[in-house]
Homo-oligomer: A and B are copies of this chain.
Amino acid sequence: MKLSTRGRYGLKAMYQLAIHYGEGPIPLKNIADAQNLSENYLEQLFSSLRKNGLLNSVRGAQGGYMLARSPRDITVGSILRTLEGNLAPADCVIDGEYDCENEENCVTKLVWMRIRDSIDEVVDSITLQDMLDEYEYMKRKNKI
């Protein structure tokens, strides 16, 4: 039930981009260095995020990546699903993914559905802006 590094690195990277939202394109290298990640690996993650419409890219010198829209309009759920696939704990509760015979009478399926729904509710309710706000709040609390 762990997230893979794709989701974990990816969310951190997107958060970094949120910090610099509005400052124009940020080179991949900056993000990779800040988090001590392989540039090549992060590139794969960003490629997925771009294809899913969460990032924009600018090629060439002074190019880089930036959020495709406001941090307020990007949820943690959209990021994690892009990188990890559906967050359901079992394939049988992903719509159209898989059909088990005996579906009618499967009680464990109800359990997986409830887990799935609770995860979805959490991740879809948190935006990058919320994370920025939480950081400000933590900073103030720790300083005092």
Chain A contacts to B: CB under 8 angstroms:
1-3, 7-8, 11-12, 15, 76, 84, 87-91, 104-105, 107-108, 110-112, 114-115, 118-119, 121-123, 126, 131-132, 134-135, 138-139, 142
**Shortest Cβ distance from A1 into B: residue:** B87
Cα–Cα, bound, A92→B110 (Å) = 29
Decide yes or no: A76 and B135 within 8 Å by CB, A3-B90, A8-B90, A142-B104 being known contacts.
no
Cα–Cα, bound, A84→B89 (Å) = 12
**Given B111, B122, B142, which contacts A115 in the complex, CB threshold below 8 Å?**
B122
Q: Are A107 and B15 in contact (CB under 8 A)?
A: yes
Decide yes or no: A108 and B8 within 8 Å by CB, A114-B122, A122-B114 being known contacts.
yes
